[in-house]
Amino acid sequence: MSVITLVRHGQANTGATDEESYDNLSMLGRDQARWMADWVAGTAYAPERIIAGPLNRQRQTAEIVGEVLGIEVETDERLREMDYFGLSQSVERTHAMPLPLDRPGFMSHIPQVLHLWSQGEIHSPAESFDQFADRVLGAMEDAETDGRRVMLVTSGGVVSVAVRHILSLDMTAFAHMMMQVHNSSLHRYVLENGERRLDNFNATPHLDSPDRVAARTYT
């Protein structure tokens, strides 16, 4: 049985309006990653292998976990986040929908962007929605062949499309789920007898104590 844990990176630089400015962990994001790593190290699900996406915030989170567990971090380009800033620029040009600056705005923006992207009505310079979903599935399949406990450190969109594959969710459910994925959250599934079974979703046990609940963030 293969055990795969997907992790969303710690909080990045919130308030950014482009990928380059966003793509580094904030001080809180580093704390979240360290707390998560310390918690995971004491569980039966501590990974034996860590694979991160290529983005700074993904690598930085994975390296904190790797330092705690004494594991060298590998990189898989397929765990890169969707090009949300590129999609936002496309939807602003074609549908006059500017990038929001707060969570209530994103609650409306994300489902619309994902629906338009999946229908081919807006375009990312990087890839189509189907290409995005297929590359994430490929990364999952390769991790599953390892036979060990593998941690994939990535981003909220990748986590959400992975769970969409597991649960066969429609686009509306996929979009709503994506908006709830916490920074540094853990999502575990098992592959048993050729079937993927979701075992844990959006877990943040390292942030659930009263003195850390304010450190639970989405963006």
Domains and CATH numbers, the chain: 48-82+126-215 (3.40.50.1240)
pLDDT tens digits, one per residue of 131-160:
999 999 999 999 999 989 999 999 999 999
Q: Given this model, what pLDDT does residue 104 score?
A: 82
Q: Given this model, what pLDDT does residue 15 score?
A: 64
Q: Phi then psi for 50, rounded to 5 degrees?
A: -125, 125
Q: Whole-angstrom distance between the N-terminal and C-terminal Cα of the chain?
A: 33
Listed in sequence order, the residues at least 6 apart from 38 whose beta carbon sits closer than 8 Å to its beta carbon are 68, 206
Q: Is the pTM of this model over 0.95?
A: no
Q: 206: which DSSP letter?
A: G
Q: Given this model, what pLDDT does residue 31 score?
A: 97
Structure tokens that stand for 51 in this block = 């694979």
| Residue of 68, 75, 112, 107 lying closest to 94 (CA atoms) | 112
Query: Once rounded to an integer, what is the mean pLDDT over residues 170-182?
Result: 92
Q: Given this model, what pLDDT does residue 102 score?
A: 80
Q: Given this model, what pLDDT does residue 16 score?
A: 60
Q: Given this model, what pLDDT does residue 218 score?
A: 86
Is 126 strand, coil or helix? Answer: coil
The label of the residue with tokens 């594959």 reads 165
| Residue of 158, 141, 7 lying closest to 81 (CA atoms) | 158
Please give the Cα distance from 92 to 95 (Å, whole number): 5
Is 99 strand, coil or helix? Answer: coil
pLDDT above 90 for 101: no
Please give the Cα distance from 70 to 35 (Å, whole number): 16
The larger pLDDT score, comparing residue 18 to residue 106, is at: 106
Question: Is residue 63 within 8 Å of 36, Cβ to Cβ?
Answer: no
Please give the Cα distance from 14 to 84 (Å, whole number): 14
pLDDT tens digits, one per residue of 35-86:
999 999 999 999 999 999 999 999 999 999 999 999 999 999 999 999 988 8
Q: 8: which DSSP letter?
A: E
Q: Given this model, what pLDDT does residue 37 score?
A: 98
pLDDT band for position 18 (cuts 50, 70, 90) = low
Ranking 35-49, 52-66, 90-104, 113-127 by mean pLDDT, the lowest is: 90-104
Buried b / exposed e across 157-185, counting CB within 10 Å, b at 16+?
A: bbbbbbbbbbeebeeeebbebbbebbbbb
Share of the chain above pLDDT 70, in %: 97
* Cβ atoms within 10 Å, residue 1: 9
Share of the chain above pLDDT 90, in %: 74
Query: Once rounded to an integer, what is the mean pLDDT over residues 121-133?
Result: 90
* Cβ atoms within 10 Å, residue 124: 19
* Cβ atoms within 10 Å, residue 189: 23
